Structure 1
Amino acid sequence: MQKRHFLVSMGAGAAALPLGAGAQQAKGLKGPVLLTVTGAVTKTNRGPLDPVLDQMMAKQKLAFDKAHAFDFAALAALPAVTIRPTLEYDKKQHELRGPLLADVLKAAGATGSKLAMRAVDGYAPEIGVADAQKYRFIVATHLDGQPIPLGGLGPLWAVYDADRFADMAAKPVDQRFAQCPWGLYHIDVKA
């Protein structure tokens, strides 16, 4: 009985909390947020990290006052690029499609020169914006014509076509993608 009373009280208390701070309430989005861009961004559509609603970000020690959040539709509205890199997992070429990372950053009003791209498992490689542009990184939403599933490499993957760049193609295939977090959900833009 006390457990039931506690749960009812928690539900009533949660209903009284103001909306709008968490990623789930990002302005202008209809679907769940898949990618949050923080740091040096000028076009924001959500408020600060909410440690209650943004559990994974809080557990990974992220903090921010403002951000630009993207749902699948917002990413799909950006021009898509298709690449065909040889992937390290099976050493075969696969088709990946999604917007250029540069276009995602532009939509967020990013003004920094470095990026920390964070995956759901906490992996967070850093890359310069100039390198992300040079190698034409994309935020892949599709693999071989299908949306990339959560639990696989998605739903988002920051990746590039290593086969197209001599300096990267010269590396063993299992060393080409260290800067490419799959399960991407957060990008911190650093000045």
Structure 2
Amino acid sequence: MISFSRRIFLIAALLFLSASFARAEDVLLTIETGHGIETYDRARLEALPQVELTTHTTVTDGPQHFTGPLMRDLLADAGVTSDRVMALALNDYEIDLPVEDFTRYDVIAALTRNGEAMSPRDKGPIWIVYPRDAHRELQDINFDYRWVWQLTRLEAR
């Protein structure tokens, strides 16, 4: 038979572990800044100034309306000062992105599309979206590769 104090310890340990797992599951984005790691849940991402962007994509029909923080604001909030970031997605896609894109264009970390939060099936929960319709040069295939859906991690380079 387990002693009372041992039962209390086991219950406390289980509660601690379940709380830790719940917090880990709430993290949508991890940013490796080069001097530390920042994690973002939906609330922290939504606390950043939100921008609305309507543009066409190569993988959807018609114009799409996106909302989310500017990538430059997100990187500044995390303390990223590098010239490049590696973007990694849930589906194992990864691409090296020039931070200059985010200062030159109003690229967003989209959290919603057409007013709805995006699930992984819908390219979410975070999708790097370029203002494709506003700049002709962004309609080049080399920029299409930079639209990272199912974004989970950014690493400063």
TM-score by length of structure 1 reads 0.67
What CA distance in whole angstroms lies between the structure 1 residues aligned with 2:102 and 2:136? 16
Matched, 1:108 2:102: no
Structure 1 portions without partners, runs of 5+: 1-11, 42-65
Match of 1:127 among 91, 97, 102: 97
- Once the two structures are TM-superposed, the CA of residue 91 in structure 1 deviates from its matched residue by 3.9
| Aligned match of 2:156 | 189
What CA distance in whole angstroms lies between the structure 2 residues aligned with 1:126 and 1:115? 6
Structure 2 portions without partners, runs of 5+: 1-9
- SS of match in other structure, 2:88: strand
| Aligned match of 1:32 | 26
In structure 2, the CA distance between the partners of 1:23 and 1:132, relative to structure 1 (3 Å rule), is: farther
Computed over aligned residues only, the root mean square deviation of the Cα atoms, in angstroms, reads 2.3
Aligned positions of 1:14-163 closer than 5 A: 15=13, 32-41=26-35, 66-163=36-133
Number of aligned positions between the proteins:
143
- Once the two structures are TM-superposed, the CA of residue 177 in structure 1 deviates from its matched residue by 2.0
- Specify which structure has the higher proportion of helix: 2
* 1:85 partner amino acid: T
* 2:99 partner amino acid: V
What CA distance in whole angstroms lies between the structure 2 residues aligned with 1:114 and 1:24? 31
Q: Is the 8 A contact 2:33 2:79 kept in 1?
A: no
In structure 2, the CA distance between the partners of 1:176 and 1:112, relative to structure 1 (3 Å rule), is: closer
Matched, 1:177 2:147: no
Consecutive aligned runs of 4 or more in structure 1 exceeding 6 Å deviation: none
Bigger relative contact order, structure 1 or 2 (CA pairs below 8 A, ≥6 apart): 2
- Specify which structure has the higher proportion of strand: 2
What CA distance in whole angstroms lies between the structure 2 residues aligned with 1:156 and 1:168? 20
| Aligned match of 1:166 | 136
